[in-house]
Structure 1
Amino acid sequence: MIRDEDFIQSKQVPGPTKEEVRCLVMCKAHIYQEDVVLDVGCGTGGLTVESAQRAHKVIAIDKNPEAVSLTQQNLIKHKLLEKVKLIEGDALSVMTELTSFDVLLIGGSSGDLPQIISQGYEKLNLNGRIVVTSILLETRVEAVETFKKLNMTLDVVEVTIAKGNITDRGTMMMGRNPITIISAVKNEYGNP
C-alpha cells in the first residue's frame, strides 16, 4: 500500500482514500493481474493507483477536470500511467461505450449511484465485483437496495479508524470519518 503522504493532493479534490480504507477496498475487490477495473469518481487517484499495481488495465473516470489531472500526476509519480485510461466525464455516458470489465469501484456518484450500479452490472463479467465506498448514510442504503434488486451476493463492512498523533506526553488517537464498504459479486444466479 502506498502511504497517504505519497500522493499529490489538493484541497479542491477529495482524497486520496485513506491508506487503511484502500487496503480494505483492495481486499474486497479481489483484483487479479488479468482484470480490467473501472474506477468511477477517481478523485486524486488513490484507488486508481492501487488498482493499477494489480490489474491488467484500469479505466478511471471523474467529472472534475482537476481530479483527472491529480490522478494523472499520481499515476506518473508512481510510474503507472501506461496501465490507466483517464476519462473526464459522466460515468453513465462513459459506461455505455465500454464493452466489459471485471471490477467496478465507485467512490463518487453525483447522486446517480443506483443507475451506475445497474448499468455497471450489465457490463460486469461473470464473477465480477462491485465495491462502493460511502461516507453518507443515504449512499449506503442506496447501494444495498440496488444490490439486492440485482440479486447480487452482498457484503457490508463499516470501518472506523483512528490514527495515532504522537505528542510530548503520549500518543493521542485521532478518529477519521467512518466509512462503509459495500461489495457485491455478480454470480450466475443473479438477475439477467
Structure 2
Amino acid sequence: MINDFDLLTTCDISGFLKEEIRSIIIYKSDVNDSDIVLDINCGVGEISSEFSNLAQKVYAIDESPQAITISENNIKKHGNIDNVELMNEYDLSAIEKIENFDIAILHAKNDNYNEILDIVHEKINSKGRILILTNFLDIEVNVVNKLDELNYNPQITQVNITKGQLLYKGIKMENQNPMTIIFAKKR
C-alpha cells in the first residue's frame, strides 16, 4: 500500500482516499494480473497507482487536466505507468471507447452515475466487478436502486477511518474520509 503522506495531492481535487479504504477496495475487487480496470473520475490517481501494480491494464479517466497530471506523477512514483492509459476526457465518452474490462471503479460525485452504470453494465466482461465510491447519501440510495434495476445484488460497506493525534493532554481521535463502498458483481 502507498502511504498517504507519499501521494501528491491538491486541495483543488476532492476525493483523496486513505490507504485503509484503498486496501478494502483492492480486497473487494478481487483483482488479478489479467484484469483490466477502469478508474472513473480518478482524481489524484491513488486507486490507479495501486491497481497499476496488480492488474494487466488500468484506464485512469478524469476530465480535469490537473487531475490527470497529478495522477500521472503519482503513478510514475508509486505504480507501473506502463500498465496505465491516462484519459483526459469526459467519463461517458472515455468509457464508450473501451471495449474490454473486468473491474470498474466509479468515484460517484456527479449526477451522471446512472448513465455511467448503464454503459459499464453493457460493456463489462462476464463476472465483472463494479465498485462505486461515494460519501453522499442520496447517491448511495440511487446507485443501489440502479444496480438492483440492472439485476445486480449490491453489497454496501460504510467505512470510517479514525486516526489518533498525540496532544499534550492525551490522544485526540479524528474521523477522516468517511466513505461508502458499493460492490456489485455481474451475474
- What TM-score bracket applies, with the shorter chain setting the length? over 0.9
Cα distance per residue 1:24-63 (max 9 Å; x no partner): 1111111111000000000000111111111000001001
C-alpha change, 1:143 and 1:186, in structure 2 (3 Å) is same
When the two structures are superposed, what TM-score results if normalisation uses the length of structure 1?
0.93
Query: Unaligned stretches of 5+ in structure 2?
Result: none
AA matched with 1:57: K
CA offset at residue 173 of structure 1?
Answer: 0.6
CA offset at residue 168 of structure 1?
Answer: 2.6
CA offset at residue 108 of structure 1?
Answer: 3.8
1:57 equivalent to 2:72? Answer no
User: RMSD between aligned alpha carbons?
Assistant: 1.2
Larger CA deviation: 92-101 vs 37-46? 92-101
AA matched with 1:124: I
Give the structure 1 partner of residue 25 of structure 2.
25
When the two structures are superposed, what TM-score results if normalisation uses the length of structure 2?
0.96
Contact 2:129/2:186 (<8 A) preserved: yes
C-alpha change, 1:23 and 1:79, in structure 2 (3 Å) is closer
2:85 and 2:63 map into 1 onto residues whose CA distance is 14
Cα distance per residue 1:127-184 (max 9 Å; x no partner): 1100001111111012101110111132101111211112233221111242110010
CA offset at residue 109 of structure 1?
Answer: 4.7
Give the structure 2 partner of residue 34 of structure 1.
34
Give the structure 2 partner of residue 84 of structure 1.
84
Give the structure 2 partner of residue 98 of structure 1.
98
C-alpha change, 1:140 and 1:15, in structure 2 (3 Å) is closer
2:52 and 2:160 map into 1 onto residues whose CA distance is 26
1:4 equivalent to 2:4? Answer yes
Give the structure 2 partner of residue 112 of structure 1.
112
Same amino acid, percent of matched pairs: 32
2:74 and 2:145 map into 1 onto residues whose CA distance is 34
Larger CA deviation: 41-50 vs 76-85? 76-85
Cα distance per residue 1:59-93 (max 9 Å; x no partner): 01001110000000101112411110000111111
1:15 and 1:46 map into 2 onto residues whose CA distance is 10
Structure 1 segments of 4 or more deviating over 6 A?
none
C-alpha change, 1:29 and 1:53, in structure 2 (3 Å) is same
DSSP 3-state at the match of 1:161? strand
Contact 2:43/2:71 (<8 A) preserved: yes
1:127 equivalent to 2:127? Answer yes
Contact 1:35/1:102 (<8 A) preserved: yes
1:124 and 1:167 map into 2 onto residues whose CA distance is 49
Query: Unaligned stretches of 5+ in structure 1?
Result: 188-192
CA offset at residue 186 of structure 1?
Answer: 0.2
1:57 and 1:109 map into 2 onto residues whose CA distance is 24
